[in-house]
């Protein structure tokens, strides 16, 4: 049952984001009196359509994209429009993706008490915040009766450091415990709701049986599974925080991607890029995690984050993307030389082929990474 819900939620999420993006192009064109031939959600065969005015509104079979077809997009009406009008239409989809994220975060952040968490994969300073903590919290789930720390620690407390030094992994935490075993040390804690930090002395045991653990405490693996420190941020309690978190995530993603690429080109190892760039299976996995959590409202911030990623991707100056189309307009404006329709067609075709090839590679990589390939092969075997 959860699998069916995941598929429905995934298709709904993609359809909403595609609709928002294409609505931007559509409204920008209509506002400037540019005729729109078709506004479609999905690709392939039409399964539902109607015509109002000069525009056909269609729902197509494959719900993994969409398009707005303008009158004279390659030749004639649209190509002969002023540069500023063409740029507005081309960049309106990206603008709408950002607006969607701002509104979604603005509405949802109060449910999170304006708290937000991101993996600390780059050094970053957030905007419009009350608090920002970089830590690897280990939350106590159970404290053994034999633990020397019993009475010093409470279940639910999250440890982030010892003696003013914060650990960045569970392995480093264990090393610190080994270093201080049999002594009293100052532990630093993080309240995950208020993001307040506090310290108090804790007795570290020195048991003869190491299997019991030096501290005698079992911890929640929620953050240890991430394998790295995280940024724990509390934004100012205001609807305007939607602007702040959207700006922060967009800047954070650009910086993270830039670091990944620069490190990969410097070392010649692109493994990390492959692990951190995902396609449809990666999104499906995230949606499935929300479904298994049992609170589908978490799809709202997930959709907002994906919407920001789509905006960043579409603004790239690559042929067939909005950014590439805008670059052509800027080039024609600066050089005062209009490229031939045939040349633009070839540029867009080359870009389209490149993007399709890239999408295939990323999604095949995801099939292996998330273990989907074995599942698909088993279906065919049956």
- Cβ neighbours for 125, distance < 8 A, ≥ 6 positions apart: 132
Predicted confidence (pLDDT) at residue 67 exceeds the cutoff of 80:
yes
Residue 202 has pLDDT above 70, yes or no: yes
How far is CA 47 from each of CA 50, 56, 62, 143, 233, rounded to the nearest angstrom?
Answer: 11, 13, 10, 59, 45
pLDDT at 336 over 70: yes
Are the C-beta atoms of 200 and 186 separated by less than 8 Å? yes
Query: What is the rounded average pLDDT of the residues 46-58?
Result: 89
CB neighbour list of residue 91: distance below 8 Å, 6 or more residues apart: 315, 322, 326
**177 contacts 214 by C-beta, under 8 angstroms:** yes
Instruction: Say yes or no to pLDDT of 210 above 80.
Output: no
Please give the average per-residue pLDDT across 228-247, as a whole number: 92
> Model's pTM, two decimal places?
0.85
Compute φ and ψ for 268, nearest 5 degrees.
80, 5
The domain segmentation of the chain, as residue ranges, is 2-35+71-107+293-381, 137-227
Structure tokens at 278: 């995902």
Is pLDDT of 376 > 60? no
- The predicted pLDDT at position 28 comes to 94
- Is the separation of the CB atoms in 246 and 126 below 8 Å? no
SS3 string of the chain? Answer: CHHHHHHHHHHHHHHHHHHHHHHHHHHHHHHCCCCEEEEEEEEEEEEEEEEECCEEEEEEEEEEEEEEEECCCCCCCCCCCCHHHHHHHHHHHHHHHHHHHHHHHHHHHHHHCCEEEEECCCCCCCCCEEEEEEECCEEEEEECCCCCCECCECCCCEEEEECCEECCCHHHHHHHHHHHCCCEEEEEEECCCCCCEEEEEEECCCCCCHHHCCCCEEECCCCCCCCCCEEEEEECCCCCHHHHHHHHHHHHHHHHHHHHHHHHHHHCCCHHHHHHCCCHHHHHHHHHHHHHHCCHHHHHHHHHHHHHHHHHHHCCCCCCCHHHHHHHHHHHHHHCCCCCHHHHHHHHHHHHHHHHHHHHHHHHHHHHHCCHHHHHHHHHHC
Are the C-beta atoms of 17 and 300 separated by less than 8 Å? no
Structure tokens at 295: 């609170």
Q: Is 248 a residue whose pLDDT tops 80?
A: yes
The mean pLDDT value for 8-25 works out to 90
137-227 carries CATH number 2.30.42.10? yes
> Which residues make beta-bridge pairs with 161?
166, 188
Q: What is the pLDDT of residues 83-93, one digit of tens each?
A: 999 999 999 99
Compute the distance between CA of residue 189 and CA of residue 139 in angstroms, rounded to an integer. Answer: 9
CA pair distance 92, 86, nearest whole angstrom: 10
**Model confidence band, residue 379 (pLDDT cutoffs 50, 70, 90):** very low
Q: Are 43 and 62 in contact (CB under 8 A)?
A: yes
Percentage of the chain lying above the pLDDT 70 cut: 86
Is the predicted pLDDT of residue 64 greater than 60, yes or no?
yes
How confident is residue 276, by pLDDT bands cut at 50, 70 and 90? low
Higher pLDDT: 194 or 381? It is 194
What's the pLDDT at 24? 95
């Amino acid at each position: 049952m959860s699998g069916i819900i995941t598929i429905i939620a995934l298709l709904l999420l993609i359809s909403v984001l595609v609709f928002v993006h294409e609505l931007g192009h559509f409204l920008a064109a209509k506002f400037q009196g540019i005729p729109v031939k078709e506004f479609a959600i999905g690709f392939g065969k039409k399964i539902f359509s109607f015509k109002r005015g000069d525009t056909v509104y269609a729902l197509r079979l494959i719900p993994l994209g969409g398009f707005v077809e303008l009158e004279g997009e390659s030749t004639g009406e649209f190509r002969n429009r002023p540069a500023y009008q063409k740029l507005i239409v081309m960049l309106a989809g990206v603008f709408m993706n950002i607006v969607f994220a701002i509104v979604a975060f603005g509405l949802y952040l109060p449910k999170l008490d304006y708290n937000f968490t991101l993996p600390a994969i780059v050094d970053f300073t957030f905007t419009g915040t009350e608090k920002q903590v970089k830590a690897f919290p280990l939350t106590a789930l159970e404290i053994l009766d034999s633990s020397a720390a019993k009475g010093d620690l409470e279940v639910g407390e999250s440890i982030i450091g010892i003696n003013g030094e914060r650990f960045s992994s569970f392995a480093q935490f264990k090393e610190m415990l080994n270093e201080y075993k049999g002594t009293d040390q100052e532990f630093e804690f993080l309240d995950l709701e208020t993001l307040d930090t506090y310290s108090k002395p804790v007795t570290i045991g020195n048991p003869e049986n190491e299997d019991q653990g030096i501290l005698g405490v079992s911890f929640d693996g929620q953050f240890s599974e991430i394998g790295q420190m995280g940024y724990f941020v509390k934004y100012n309690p205001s609807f305007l925080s939607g602007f702040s978190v959207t700006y922060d995530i967009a800047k954070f993603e650009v910086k993270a991607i830039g670091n990944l690429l620069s490190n990969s080109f410097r070392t010649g190892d692109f493994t990390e890029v492959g692990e951190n760039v995902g396609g449809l299976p990666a999104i499906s996995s995230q949606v499935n995690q929300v479904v298994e959590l049992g609170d589908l409202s978490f799809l709202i911030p997930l959709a907002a984050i994906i919407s920001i990623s789509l905006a960043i991707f579409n603004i790239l100056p690559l042929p067939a993307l909005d950014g590439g189309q805008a670059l052509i307009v800027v080039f024609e404006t600066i050089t005062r030389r209009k490229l031939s329709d045939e040349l633009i067609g070839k540029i867009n075709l080359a870009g389209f082929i490149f993007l399709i090839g890239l999408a295939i590679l990323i999604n095949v990589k995801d099939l292996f990474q998330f273990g989907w390939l074995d599942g698909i092969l088993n279906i065919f075997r049956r």
